[in-house]
Amino acid sequence: MSGDLLHVLSTVEGYIYPNEVTTLWTVVIAMYPYITGLVAGAFIVASLERVFKWKELFPTYKLSLLTALSFMLVATTPLLLHLGNPFRGPYIFFTPHLTSAMAAFGFVYLWYLMAVLCLEIWYDYRAKFVRWSKEETFFIKRWVYKALTLFNDDLSEEAIEGDEKTGYIITIIGLPSAVLLHGYVGFIFGSIKANPWWASPMMPIIFLFSAIVSGVGLLIVIYNLVSWVKKIPIDQVAMDKLGNFLLYVTLMDLTLEAMELIHMFYASEESIDMVRVLIGDKLFFSLIEVQVIFGTLVPIIILSITRAGFIKEFAHRRMIYLASGLLVMIGVFAMRWNVVIGGQLFSKSLYGFKIYDMTWLGKEGAGMAIALFILPFLILSVLLYFLPPWDDMVPGAEKGE
């Protein structure tokens, strides 16, 4: 018996069909809904300040937009890596297939990137581009700012007021666009009727709320990190507001996922025995321990203690918010892992399972997944260099203090 055959046999148990031995969607594909969720979540946080008038979050508004743009620029990379020929990607636009949910993502992505994020950031920074193009001494940055003005150097009150109104309209349009961007990812999985672990009408809603959770957690981490690097005081009101919002959306996310599981067990379809094994054995560590306990329940408990007023010192509350942000980010990634990888571990025969043998190297290995997560932070550092939001991050900036 050859070594390759022995390796294959060691990764399966029970009865599975021959074409199910290979796990087609790897950890890199799990990064795809994770990154798009961070984009949608960060933008929704920005919308809270501008559309819903949560002025307490003003210090994080522009940082939220730049964070969303940084991760948006990387969102398609996991899919392109997975393609045998990534240069086929642009054919989505040249030969559209309107009945394909996957192809629809290309149009949603392009619309959200160009018509929402880039335009909103441009209108927010246009007046600063004009001033920076005249004041900047470093010639490269000066010419970059001059190019970004797009030959519009009007700094009159009417022009600045027009920028604000236009940006507000774009944000209103962008909010349902962000919902569509990530809700569609849940639609992709939820519409696969042949897979009982995926097929659920609640999947788009669950993906959306978990995206908001991860986006808020990411923004808390980045806000603390940037403030520490730039020596900018943390706005206590903004941080408390973010912490409270994180608690509420995490509770909602937990409720939705619990409802889905309760419905699955109550319906008790023929696949329920497979689901029990999947939860209690194959995904026990990533689902129960990482996602539910450390990524959801622990943040809810410590945020609830903070919300109840037991933690008086802001320095202590800040550390709790930071720890909660990191934990929910890990928990949401575990959720994406459990959906993408977990849904491929069982056979359609419902009598067998396989083991996902993750590699470290290669275009779809763990190393590439880590690189995909680091890349947006590098892009964000470049954006922060050319589009610094420091003045708005100072506590009291929105009040002109």
Residue-wise pLDDT tens digits, 119-158: 999 999 999 999 999 888 888 899 999 999 988 888 888 9
pLDDT computed for residue 12 by the predictor: 65
List Cβ neighbours of 351 (8 Å cut-off, separation of 6 or more): 14, 15, 16
pLDDT computed for residue 1 by the predictor: 46
SS3 call for 151? coil
List Cβ neighbours of 161 (8 Å cut-off, separation of 6 or more): none
The least confident of 96-105, 269-278, 291-300 is 96-105
Position 188, amino acid: I
Residue-wise pLDDT tens digits, 300-343: 999 999 999 888 899 999 999 999 999 999 999 999 999 999 98
pLDDT computed for residue 400 by the predictor: 47
pTM: 0.92
SS3 call for 2? coil
pLDDT computed for residue 301 by the predictor: 97
The least confident of 244-248, 279-283, 318-322 is 279-283
Q: What is the DSSP letter of 24?
A: -
State the DSSP H helix or E strand holding residue 353, giving kind and residue range, or none if neither. strand 351-354
pLDDT computed for residue 393 by the predictor: 80
Residue 371: how many other CB atoms lie within 10 Å: 15
- φ and ψ of 125, to 5 deg: -105, -5
d(CA 332, CA 360): 21
Q: State the residue for tokens 């290995």.
A: 365
Residue 69 pLDDT > 50: yes
Q: What is the DSSP string of 85-142?
A: SGGGTTHHHHS--TT-HHHHHHHHHHIIIIIIIIHHHHHHHHHHHHHHHHH--SHHHH
Average pLDDT over residues 70-85: 88
pLDDT computed for residue 112 by the predictor: 85
Q: In this prediction, what percent of the chain has a pLDDT beyond 70?
A: 94
Residue 5 pLDDT > 70: no
Q: Which of 55-59, 269-273, 392-396 has the highest mean pLDDT?
A: 55-59
Residue 9 pLDDT > 80: no
pLDDT computed for residue 19 by the predictor: 66
Average pLDDT over residues 86-103: 76
pLDDT computed for residue 183 by the predictor: 79
